[in-house]
Amino acid sequence: MSAGETFGRRLHAAMRARGPFCAGIDPHPGLLTAWGLDDDATGLERFARTAVEALGETVAVLKPQSAFFERHGSRGVAVLERVVADARATGALVLLDVKRGDIGSTMQAYADAYCDPASPLCADAVTVSPYLGFESLRPVLDTAAAHGNGVFVLALTSNPEGPEVQHARTADGRTVAGTMLDHVRAANAAALAAGDPLGGVGVVVGATTGGNGEDLAVGGPLLAPGLGAQGATVADLATVFGAALPQVVPSASREILSAGPDPRALREAAVRTIEDVRDLLFRASAEA
């Protein structure tokens, strides 16, 4: 990472150079079995490092899902540390998917773990949950910004239980998700005013959420999980994100990983998705 270079600038450059796509690294037990690997720390390491080797020089963002490493205990976390380091060495940005949400000193401890370069788990960006109140995220937001890292805030998730919280209305009539989007928009204002192409605070909006009626132009990147195995297609992105489509970073995990363990097949699956997204953006631009 260049000194003083913000996450928004790094991500924007990576998306332009490699295409707007994030490949998840989810060492699910079923995928380990499908790859002919044992469901242990050794199989985990072979799986994850093969994915990094195959995809790291092709995609803009790699997104390890921390839970699938943590389930193997200390050996799994050690693998995750190596995967983060290996992935960053390929030139891909690393988004560590941890979805942490807490308060006070505990949240600061998470910030130190994932956003401070002194930690072996420090990534380019991290996912967090704001549903203890947006300001509960302040330790992560401030620590990430201090080190030029990014934060992706859950806003509109694709799981069926999400709407009972995210679509609920606050006293002023806004949805809870809309309130979080407003907070993110405010958090990115200074970076945009300084000339950054993207703010360092993004949001997670599932590609399966349909026309959700929210203003998704938050000044930061829009991580859109759900392509492939979760049911969304590249074409659905235009419906969900509308005018905010150029800020979208679509994400797929099982759709890509199921092509393994052959590295070439993994790479080709990612390239096909990147080309489909680029075609969608080209058509949207031509129609604008």
Q: Which residues contact 239 (CB under 8 A, 6 or more apart)?
A: 210, 211
How far apart CA 121 and CA 137 sit, in angstroms, is 18
Q: Which two tokens stand for residue 219?
A: 């000044």
Q: Do 183 and 175 form a contact (C-beta atoms < 8 A)? A: no
Nearest to 5 by CA among 169, 162, 191, 183: 191
Residue 268 corresponds to which tokens in the numbers above? 């080709």
Catalytic residue selected from 49, 75, 82, 99? 99
List the structure tokens of 50.
């093969």
What gap in Å lies between CA 48 and CA 58, rounded to an integer? 16
Q: Mark whether 99 is an active-site residue.
A: yes
Nearest partner of 237 among 22, 2, 30, 1, judged by Cα: 22
Active site residues: 99
